[in-house]
């Protein structure tokens, strides 16, 4: 179970980083 939780946490972390990158790109285009 803990392994599964760590796996989902890793996926969420990656997704967050992906969205953060998209946000920075959007801000750059707005500028």
Range of the domain at 18: 1-30
What is the three-class DSSP state of 1? coil
Residue with tokens 């890793």: 10
Q: What is the pLDDT of residue 10?
A: 73
Give the count of domains, the chain.
1
Q: What is the pLDDT of residue 5?
A: 76
Q: What is the pLDDT of residue 1?
A: 59
- CA-based angle 6:24:13, to the nearest 5? 0
Query: What is the distance between the alpha carbons of residues 30 and 20, in angstroms, rounded to a whole number?
Result: 15
Summarize pLDDT for 1-31 with one digit per residue, the tens: 567 777 777 767 778 888 888 889 998 888 6
């Amino acid at each position: 179970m803990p392994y599964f939780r760590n796996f989902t946490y890793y996926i969420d972390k990656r997704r967050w980083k992906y969205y953060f990158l998209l946000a920075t790109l959007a801000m750059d285009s707005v500028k």
